[in-house]
Amino acid sequence: MRTLTTGDQAPDFDLPTHDGSRVKLSDLAASHRGVIVYFYPKAATPGCTTQACDFRDNEAALAAAGYAIVGVSTDPLADLVAFAQDQHVPFPFASDEDHSVAESFDTWGDYMHHTGPRTGTLRSTFVVDPDMTLSYVEYGVDPDGHVARLREVLGA
């Protein structure tokens, strides 16, 4: 599997979100210093909840620094609606049910889960600049402390 790297063009996407709207990456990127796009395997699971709440708790500081956040999952919209409501998430969760966006970001593949091998979304984070260039790429994200490390890199 090829992986994206810093300096690559980000694949654009237009996905439905938990709040009934849509998010088009190029439109969002054009109006921000950067867009943090993070891919997570499954809504309401421990690691994904840790990561979502960490982004939620740091959203104001990231927004003040000019960054928008979008969480992308292959979960159905109904699951994302419940997850966003349960965790009081202020940023969009986008549904990529056919995993085409995950594939375009090279975040769809085989991985080892504590219950055995799986195929699905690989936890990954990207920062997309206004011109759609990737300024930050991280595959194999550990959700614990991830946002603090990202804020340090971004100076946010």
Q: What is the CATH number of the domain that holds 102?
A: 3.40.30.10
Residue 50 in any domain: the answer is: yes
Each residue of 95-133: pLDDT tens digit? 999 999 999 999 998 877 778 888 888 999 999 999 999
Domain count, the chain: 1
Task: Provide mean pLDDT across the span 4-25.
Answer: 97
Task: Provide mean pLDDT across the span 5-20.
Answer: 97
Q: Which residues form the catalytic set? A: 48
Q: Residue type at 6? A: T
Domain that holds residue 79: 14-154
- Three-state DSSP at 73 gives strand
pLDDT-based confidence at 1, cuts 50/70/90? Answer: low
What lies within 8 Å, CB to CB, of 20 at 6+ separation is none
Q: d(Cα 87, Cα 51) in Å, to the nearest integer?
A: 11
Q: d(Cα 120, Cα 110) in Å, to the nearest integer?
A: 6
